[in-house]
Structure 1
Amino acid sequence: MTMRSTTFLILHGFQNRRPPAHWQHWLAGRLRERGHEVRYPQLPEPDAPVLGDWLAALDEHGARPARGEFVVLAHSLSVLLWLRAGDRRPAADRVLLVAPPSPAVTASIPEIAAFADGLDLTEAGLDARLVYGDGDPYCPEGADLHYGLPLGLDLDHVPGGEHLNPDSGYGEWPSLLEWCEDPTVRIKGH
């Protein structure tokens, strides 16, 4: 039995320098151990990101592999990057959007406000799954209300998950690893 070749593109958020305690770092390591190709780029200027530079990085790292499945996982501000990319989005087989900040919160932070400008939440045909926790200080009204329902996304709710980052206890995240290898798995908390 041959294992299907999968390439994962993991995109981080605002002020993230890919710390070892983050689930994205942990996930990249586990996926590589299992023989998958993993692209986990440091996006430019994470403390003062420029949308155009992040879009260029998405162009650079998002080339679809010649064969096999291509899976994109975006956390926090990179969810808005993915949404803003529009026609520039790479052709992915699966997309996971995790804990996006609300448009209002994004607009209130000068360093990232441009990511909220012109954000179209009426786009039809966006095929992705949204994972969100309640109590997320960056999306207090709920990512399901801001993104999931308007975009018709498949939803996985993590009770008490907050921003689904190390501050809310998300370093190791076994169900997320399971989903990476089996898209029928529902993502849950610890």
Structure 2
Amino acid sequence: MTDATAPTPTPLPTPPTAFLILHGWQNHRPEGHWQRWLAGELEARGHVVRYPRLPDADEPTPAAWEAAVRHERAALPAGRPVTVLCHSLSCLLWLRLQAGVAPPSADRVALVAPPSPELIAGQPIHAFVAGELFDGRRLALGGDGESVVVAGDDDEWLPLGPVDTWEARVDAPVVVVPRGGHLTPDSGYGEWPAILAWALGAPAAEAFG
């Protein structure tokens, strides 16, 4: 027999999630960028966030960035779900790490505005696409849960468009943002509720729909 006077048990809070947020080429983590805004929103909700300054953002090398990302991933507390959110060049870096030895683990991964490897091959940062990694093989993002690629349909770093560039290359759905540009403050992405909703656990179709 149930005691009607017994207090209703208080539900246990959801354990805080750990987040790793990685910037791109020539990004010095400005105040108005959606990544900095997101880091603040997540920290305000009690989550653990690492949003590092990657070395030599203007003249980066894959080796230095890979070492930094491994260090930052290892610094996240054990036993918590880990979500990784990359923007621009760090998306290519993350794919390199996942295809290499001892890839860093994650539960959910978002690659935001990953640039065309063919376009990067003609830039000073061409070392990030060296080798055969982006020559037609299908790449894993490494998340045990939902992973997603998000890109603007008019991104200048994706001359063939996000779907033609990435759909056959990654083992994740590609979400196209109309008139999103490179998804930077210049294209209106400072505060970005959709990426916050996804980071907090909403499915991509719901968050970006």
Compute the TM-score of the two structures, normalised by the length of structure 2: 0.84
- Counterpart of 1:168 in structure 2: which amino acid? S
Provide the rounded CA distance (Å) in 1 between the counterparts of 2:140 and 2:114. 19
**1:178 matched to 2:197:** yes
Q: Select which of 124, 129, 135 maps to 1:116.
A: 129
Q: Select which of 84, 88, 93 maps to 1:72.
A: 84
Q: Which runs of 5+ in 2 are unaligned?
A: 1-10
Q: Select which of 11, 25, 34 maps to 2:36.
A: 25
Partner residue, 1:7: 18
Partner residue, 2:114: 100
State the SS of the aligned residue for 1:62: helix
State the SS of the aligned residue for 1:140: coil
Q: 1:96–1:131: 8 Å Cα contact kept in structure 2?
A: yes
Compute the TM-score of the two structures, normalised by the length of structure 1: 0.92
After TM superposition, the structure 1 stretch with the greater mean CA deviation from structure 2, 84-93 or 169-178, is 84-93
Q: Select which of 141, 155, 163 maps to 2:182.
A: 163
Partner residue, 2:105: 91
Q: Which runs of 5+ in 1 are unaligned?
A: none
Provide the rounded CA distance (Å) in 1 between the counterparts of 2:139 and 2:174. 16
Provide the rounded CA distance (Å) in 2 between the counterparts of 1:125 and 1:138. 21
**1:47 matched to 2:58:** yes
Partner residue, 2:158: 139
After TM superposition, the structure 1 stretch with the greater mean CA deviation from structure 2, 36-45 or 148-157, is 148-157
Q: 2:152–2:182: 8 Å Cα contact kept in structure 1?
A: yes
Q: 1:11–1:78: 8 Å Cα contact kept in structure 2?
A: yes
Q: 2:42–2:49: 8 Å Cα contact kept in structure 1?
A: yes
How far residue 84 of structure 1 moved from its aligned partner, in angstroms, is: 1.0
Q: Aligned-residue CA RMSD in angstroms? A: 1.7
How far residue 107 of structure 1 moved from its aligned partner, in angstroms, is: 1.2
Q: 1:74–1:97: 8 Å Cα contact kept in structure 2?
A: yes
- Counterpart of 2:58 in structure 1: which amino acid? D
Q: 1:5–1:67: 8 Å Cα contact kept in structure 2?
A: no
Q: How many residues align?
A: 188
**1:56–1:139 CA distance, 2 compared to 1 (3 A):** same
Provide the rounded CA distance (Å) in 1 between the counterparts of 2:47 and 2:132. 33
How far residue 183 of structure 1 moved from its aligned partner, in angstroms, is: 3.5
Q: 2:87–2:111: 8 Å Cα contact kept in structure 1?
A: yes
Q: 2:95–2:140: 8 Å Cα contact kept in structure 1?
A: no
After TM superposition, the structure 1 stretch with the greater mean CA deviation from structure 2, 58-67 or 77-86, is 58-67
Provide the rounded CA distance (Å) in 2 between the counterparts of 1:146 and 1:185. 19
Q: 1:77–1:100: 8 Å Cα contact kept in structure 2?
A: yes
Q: 1:124–1:151: 8 Å Cα contact kept in structure 2?
A: yes
Provide the rounded CA distance (Å) in 1 between the counterparts of 2:52 and 2:139. 28
